[in-house]
Amino acid sequence: MFRTLDQADLSQKRALVRVDFNVPMQDGAVSDDTRLRAALPTIEKLRAGGAKVILLAHFDRPKGKRVASMSLAPIAGPLAALLGVPVAFADDCVGEPAEAAIAAMKAGDVLLLENLRYHSGEEANDPDFAKALARLGDLYVNDAFSAAHRAHASTEGLARLIPAYAGEAMRRELDALDKALGKPERPVLGIVGGSKVSTKLDLLKNLVTRLDRLAIGGGMANTFLFAQGWDVGASYCEKDLADTAREIMGLAAASGCELLLPIDIVVAEKMEPGAPARTRALGAVEPDERILDAGPQSVARLIAAMEASKTLIWNGPLGVFEMPPFDRATVAAAKAAARLTQSGALVAVAGGGDTVSALNHAGVAADLTFVSTAGGAFLEWMEGKTLPGVAALEA
């Protein structure tokens, strides 16, 4: 079990808080403040407890050098506006600039330190750099699940040196993931989509041993259909992975996990918005046609599987959702998941970049139990891997 801020004495303590402020910027200004907003509950809880809040973050990839365009300085103003209190900024994350800024703090103050990755010791998880960070604080809070799969100084090394706790966003993420795959209510259904089997081998092999049903969609479904002997026409397909697909199908069968592959498909000759689309039965794909979405029968069967499940975990779209009309399967499945979640019948957890975009496209991202924006960390957790930044928080 991991430690939370409810167990910490915060009064007058210097709290080093690892946040994810690697936000989209345009013309030197924050263009999407979602990640800033995600940090607010932790910052406010620390301030309310009388802590001095010292924020640690990275921005982009300066590779251990000072790169002016990768400074965190432009973040301080937008964060202050969201918090409604001043946010001070220190020109370095260790040494005299950081120490002087922290010495000037009072309880409830908020300070943002400069980009951690200006120092090569951050990504190298250098013990001396971790110790230099540790000298700045009395306790450590990790509120950046999205960086928890990296064993960096600010995510792993520092957490071993001073008392370490999960922040509010981290706690919410870990609780949701535990409900989805740690101790889920069964039956559990998984949806894995996207274009390439090759990028999700570890994920598929882990999930078929842990789920009751697994639906495979997107371009990767074509590889499984090809492995079963179906002609996929001009579709994207990793034909060299047919043996691997058959191995995963065998592992699913041995584990008692039912694989749901498309039973009908939507095809077009060109992958472009508004292209003439046709629904085909398996085996009826013409040589110049591409499979670009799951068909209505496949969607109906998937929704029936959702209705028979208690828990859903979702990563990846079912088709080329960015190009209508090839978004229909993804949108229909997303709306069904939202309906079942809102009625209390389903715990639905989703994550991964394309998944978040697809759920936003369907207008239902806010209606699922939890939607993780943590990309790589979410994927590695689904693969069954230990995340160094989470392991360091375990009590």
Residues with catalytic function: 35, 196, 353, 376
CA distance linking residue 140 with residue 178, whole number of Å: 23
Pairing verdict, β 25-26 and 29-30: antiparallel
Beta bridge partners of 165: 141
Q: What is the dihedral of CA 61, 167, 202, 285, to 10 degrees?
A: -80
Which string of DSSP letters, residue by residue, matches 163-217? -EEE-HHHHHHHHHHIIIIISPPSSEEEEE-SS-STTSHHHHHHHTTT-SEEEE-
Label residue 11 exposed, middle or buried (CB < 10 Å: 0-12, 13-18, 19+). Answer: exposed
Collect all residues with Cβ–Cβ distance below 8 Å to 43 and sequence separation of at least 6. 17, 53, 55, 83, 110
Between vectors from CA 147 to CA 144 and to CA 150, what angle results, nearest 5°? 140
CA distance linking residue 72 with residue 19, whole number of Å: 12
Short-list 92, 170, 91, 94, CA closest to 130: 94
CA distance linking residue 292 with residue 273, whole number of Å: 11
Token couple for 369 = 């139990």
Residue 139: Cβ within 10 Å count: 20
Q: Given the structure tokens 């990767």, which residue do they identify?
A: 220
Q: Given the structure tokens 């794909």, which residue do they identify?
A: 285
HSE, CB side, 13 Å, CA atoms: give it for residue 227: 20
